[in-house]
Structure 1
Amino acid sequence: MNRLVHLFIVMLFVMGIVGYQQIKAIKPEEKITQIQTVLEKNGAHIQEWSLLAKEESDAVSDIHTFQKLLGRLKTQMDGADWYVENAEQGMKATAIKKFSNRQERLVVTWTNAHTTHKTFIIYEMKGKKWDEGIVAKMDKIFSQKPTIYTCVRAVWGDKIEGVLQNKATKILKDLEAKPIETLQERAFVTVSAYTGKWNDALSINKEKMNVQVALRTVGDKTTVVVGTPIITSEY
């Protein structure tokens, strides 16, 4: 991934954290299903979906409350491999649990920089088959309502006809989404857009955005990633 694309991802992720608004809850699996349907309609083969949930908590004020929080979370990640390390001005714990058709990852970070205590809990799931227990598990992991990002990755096995921009436009049309911002290179394009199908959005230059489409061609293979409200994985 080149520096320009990486910077674009970081910029959108930060804006997503501070600008994300949700009016009416739409189940993440409903979005994943809608995205998969559109990609398959356009001839792409689904590789995996991913879900990332993030929450800022004030539950940790020292090493003792950090350990107490981990104790609670370990009951929800039973059987996971845990890695705890000292981070700059704080602590970081990572749990990874693998299943036959999906993988879970939980990251807890606590920093006490400048006497301000901040704790972030990030829960990430990747897989090919949705499990109804995922939402129930998130309800136990998070004490508040987390911000949720969903992505679907797919590929075209053969070289696609036409330019990438046209394919991105077709996908957005099927999602009933209006393009807001585009970043384009020779074999790569990403478009940020807004669809009224999902009643949540973040703001870019005073315009609403809640879906991002990225396509990249390497040789005869083209990968497409669709995320809402932004793409949180590399593409």
Structure 2
Amino acid sequence: MVGQGIKKMKHYLGLIVVIIMLLGNSIESYGAAKADVSKDVNRMYDVLESEGAELMSFEITIRETISRDDIEGKLMDLNNVGTIVEEKTENATKFMVHTPHKQNAIAERILLVVPTDKEYQAELIYTVSGSKWTEKVQQSVQDLTSAAQSQFFTYNASKFACLKAGFGDKISGGILFQNVMKKLDVQPLTNMQDNVYTTTTGYTTQLKASRSLADNMNIQLALHDGNGQSTVTVGTPIITTEY
């Protein structure tokens, strides 16, 4: 009887551990969804600037698949934001609203992609981008992404942030790359290198808005060390622009 009681207790403890792990994953995902992605951009910008790199561009993306039953409602929402430009291709119909904000030199784009093949879900993609990052720009981006999140997306939406910065010949690309990784406390997972490019994926606890992908990867860094065209690009969880 005692032995059976111990076995039952171990079984219940095992279930409790599994439940706690599942709750932990849910809380982490929810926390990432609620986190302000502009703060991640600010952290990456501060690190790049501290290493002497000059910002070339930033882009924040929120994206989520949506049911085909919700397409009409999303189109009504887009129509309330601005003029919709429709583009049809063989594979999909795209509906886009583009809104430049000249005062802060940033631009918003909301894109609804509806695949021709009805077996595939539609996808809503929001981006805000620019070439300067100041306190004023950060506040504007924070306001815009928060408004877009609440108007168009659920908390399950994925968030991406990407920064690209350039640096001159006076800075060693290899040293800069290592210093950026060190300051962001990146634990490297994979690394690829050739004569021109170095690309690393890893994990960091410093960036809160990015959900981890496979193997707990939530950051990607790329170094292009060329003649007069040297750049470093950082993306969470992955780089979403060319580098």
TM range (shorter): 0.7 to 0.9
CA distance in structure 1 between the aligned counterparts of 2:198 and 2:94, rounded to whole angstroms: 35
State the shift of 1:181 in Å.
0.9
Question: Does residue 103 of the first structure (1) align with residue 127 of the second (2)?
Answer: no
Residues 117/230 of structure 1: CA separation in 2 closer, same or farther (3 Å cut):
closer
State the shift of 1:223 in Å.
1.2
Residues 74/138 of structure 1: CA separation in 2 closer, same or farther (3 Å cut):
farther
User: 1:98, 1:104 within 8 Å by CA — same for their partners in 2?
Assistant: yes
State the shift of 1:144 in Å.
4.9
CA distance in structure 2 between the aligned counterparts of 1:165 and 1:229, rounded to whole angstroms: 22
Report the counterpart of residue 129 of structure 2 in structure 1. Answer: 126
Residues 182/43 of structure 1: CA separation in 2 closer, same or farther (3 Å cut):
same
Q: Say which of 194, 198, 213 aligns to 1:189.
A: 198
Q: What CA deviation, in whole Å up to 9, does each residue of 1:141-176 have, x standing for no partner?
A: 2245310000111111x21444x3443222111001
- Residue type of the partner of 1:83? V
Q: Say which of 17, 28, 31 aligns to 2:40.
A: 31
Report the counterpart of residue 167 of structure 1 in structure 2. Answer: 176
More strand by share: 1
Question: Does residue 53 of the first structure (1) align with residue 62 of the second (2)?
Answer: yes
CA distance in structure 2 between the aligned counterparts of 1:213 and 1:219, rounded to whole angstroms: 20
- Residue type of the partner of 2:169? K
CA distance in structure 2 between the aligned counterparts of 1:202 and 1:143, rounded to whole angstroms: 19
**Which runs of 4 or more aligned residues in structure 1 lie more than 6 Å from their structure 2 counterparts after TM superposition?**
none
Give the number of the structure whose alpha-carbon radius of gyration is greater: 2
Q: Say which of 126, 144, 147 aligns to 2:158.
A: 147
CA distance in structure 1 between the aligned counterparts of 2:197 and 2:191, rounded to whole angstroms: 11
Q: Percent identity?
A: 23
Report the counterpart of residue 221 of structure 2 in structure 1. Answer: 213
Residues 89/142 of structure 1: CA separation in 2 closer, same or farther (3 Å cut):
same
TM-score, normalisation: structure 2: 0.75
RMSD after superposition: 2.1
Tell me the SS of whatever aligns to 2:212: strand
CA distance in structure 1 between the aligned counterparts of 2:226 and 2:96, rounded to whole angstroms: 33
State the shift of 1:90 in Å.
4.6
Residues 154/221 of structure 1: CA separation in 2 closer, same or farther (3 Å cut):
same
State the shift of 1:227 in Å.
0.8
Tell me the SS of whatever aligns to 2:216: strand
More helix by share: 2
CA distance in structure 1 between the aligned counterparts of 2:207 and 2:226, rounded to whole angstroms: 32
Residues 161/91 of structure 1: CA separation in 2 closer, same or farther (3 Å cut):
closer
Tell me the SS of whatever aligns to 2:169: coil
User: 2:110, 2:125 within 8 Å by CA — same for their partners in 1?
Assistant: yes
Structure 2 residue runs without a partner (length 5+): 1-27
CA distance in structure 2 between the aligned counterparts of 1:103 and 1:167, rounded to whole angstroms: 29
Question: Does residue 72 of the first structure (1) align with residue 77 of the second (2)?
Answer: yes
